[in-house]
């Protein structure tokens, strides 16, 4: 087993609301408890231009890589562009792609990062510069590694960018369970959207999720990319759902179990998590990855 991660994911110019060092803390937690050995943390290379262009326009790729964002574009992104930020997000594209390739080979792929589901083909939003989820599945489909794939997005926020990029593409499906009325203010239609009221707790969430997963897997995807945001946790600063820490873990077990029982490989990206203490978000992320490894032993 290996997990994809780069120290370059930590960006000093990142948002205080989205502290990029949470991915580094997640990796350290997995090393500290022996879940992973140092040699099992694999550093991704930069993606090729063609891999970025699977999901993004040439104009946006040029801006994302080299700069030149307008003030309005940076405001929408909610991050200040820098070379380090561009490198981090480019590496995350390849990290998610490599995790997907691992999943197709072994049943499970792990990315200690990724999940930039608010990035659109021609702009970034909500801390997301490049959409690693969409780029990965489009590259795999274009190279005939898969014909059908699904993004299961369980971040508290709707995956508007992923839904937009993948809309209308045969064989590619998006499922988003998210908080009703939350960010983004304008949603983009996924293959299936389930908007949950604020305060939704463990039992109701898990019941709905199981029903939706079974319906999605009836479409027979050859790969699930699991956007495992932990901002559904009741202590999250930007989320309004009320899953306990055990509820988040039960959610993860459910996704892995249902996919494993049906023989569908799973690649994991971490996505959102905005706890008051960044270590709390990292602990939840690390638990997700541990559960995945336990589930696919």
Each residue's pLDDT expressed in tens, for the chain with a length of 297 residues: 899 999 999 998 656 677 889 999 999 999 999 999 999 999 999 999 999 999 999 999 999 999 999 999 999 999 999 999 999 999 999 999 999 999 999 999 999 999 999 999 999 999 999 999 999 999 999 999 999 999 999 999 999 999 999 999 999 999 999 999 999 999 999 999 999 999 999 999 999 999 999 999 999 999 999 999 999 999 999 999 999 999 999 999 999 999 999 999 999 999 999 999 999 999 999 999 999 999 998
How high is the pLDDT of residue 57?
A: 98
Whole-number Å distance between alpha carbons of 88 and 107: 26
Strands 224-227 and 266-269: parallel
Q: Which of 273, 227, 257, 259 is nearest to 114 (CA)?
A: 227
> The domain spanning residue 147 has which CATH number?
3.40.800.20
Q: Tell me the whole-structure pTM to 2 decimals.
A: 0.97
The total of structural domains in the chain comes to 1
What is the domain range of residue 149?
3-295
How high is the pLDDT of residue 20?
A: 87
Whole-number Å distance between alpha carbons of 293 and 297: 6
How high is the pLDDT of residue 13?
A: 63
Torsion sign, CA atoms 250, 186, 214, 139? negative
285: annotated active-site residue? no
Which residue pairs from 78-83 have beta carbons closer than 8 angstroms and sit at least 24 positions apart in sequence?
Answer: 78/15, 78/17, 78/125, 78/126, 78/127, 79/13, 79/14, 79/15, 79/18, 79/124, 79/127, 79/129, 80/13, 81/129, 82/11, 82/13
How high is the pLDDT of residue 263?
A: 97
How high is the pLDDT of residue 297?
A: 85
DSSP string, 185-240: SS----SEEEEEPTT--HHHHHHHHHHHHHHHHTT--S-EEEE---TTBTTBSS--
Exactly one of 56, 118, 157, 285 is catalytic; name it.
Answer: 118
Strands 108-111 and 149-153: unpaired
**Which positions ≥6 away from 196 have C-beta within 8 Å?**
177, 178, 179, 180, 204, 205, 208, 241
User: What phi-psi label fits residue 157: left (phi over 0), alpha (psi between -120 and 50 degrees) or beta?
Assistant: beta
């Amino acid at each position: 087993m290996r997990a994809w991660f780069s120290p370059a994911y930590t960006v000093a110019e990142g948002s205080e609301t989205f502290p990029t060092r949470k991915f580094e803390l997640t990796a350290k937690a997995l090393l500290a408890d022996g879940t992973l050995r140092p040699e099992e943390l694999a550093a991704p290379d930069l993606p090729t231009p063609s891999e970025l262009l699977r999901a993004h326009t040439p104009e946006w790729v040029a801006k994302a890589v080299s700069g030149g964002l307008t003030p309005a574009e940076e405001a929408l992104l909610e991050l200040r562009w820098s070379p380090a930020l561009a490198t981090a997000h480019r590496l995350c594209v390849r990290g998610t792609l490599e995790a997907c390739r691992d999943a197709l080979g072994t049943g499970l792929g792990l990315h200690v990062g990724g999940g930039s589901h608010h990035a659109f083909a021609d702009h970034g939003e909500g801390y997301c510069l490049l959409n690693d989820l969409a780029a990965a599945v489009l590259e795999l489909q274009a190279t005939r590694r898969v014909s059908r794939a699904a993004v299961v997005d369980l971040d508290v926020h709707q995956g508007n960018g992923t839904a937009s990029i993948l809309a209308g593409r045969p064989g590619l499906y998006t499922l988003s369970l998210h908080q009703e009325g939350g960010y983004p203010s304008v949603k983009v239609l996924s293959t299936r959207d389930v908007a949950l009221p604020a305060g939704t707790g463990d039992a109701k969430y898990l019941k709905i999720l199981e029903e939706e997963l079974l319906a999605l897997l009836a479409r027979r995807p050859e790969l699930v990319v699991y956007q495992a945001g932990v901002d559904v946790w009741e202590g999250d600063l930007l989320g309004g759902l009320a899953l306990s820490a055990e509820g988040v873990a039960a959610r993860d077990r459910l996704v892995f179990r249902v996919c494993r029982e049906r023989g569908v490989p799973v690649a994991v990206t971490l996505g959102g998590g905005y706890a008051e203490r960044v270590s709390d978000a990292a602990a939840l992320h690390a638990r997700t990855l541990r559960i995945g490894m336990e589930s696919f032993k």
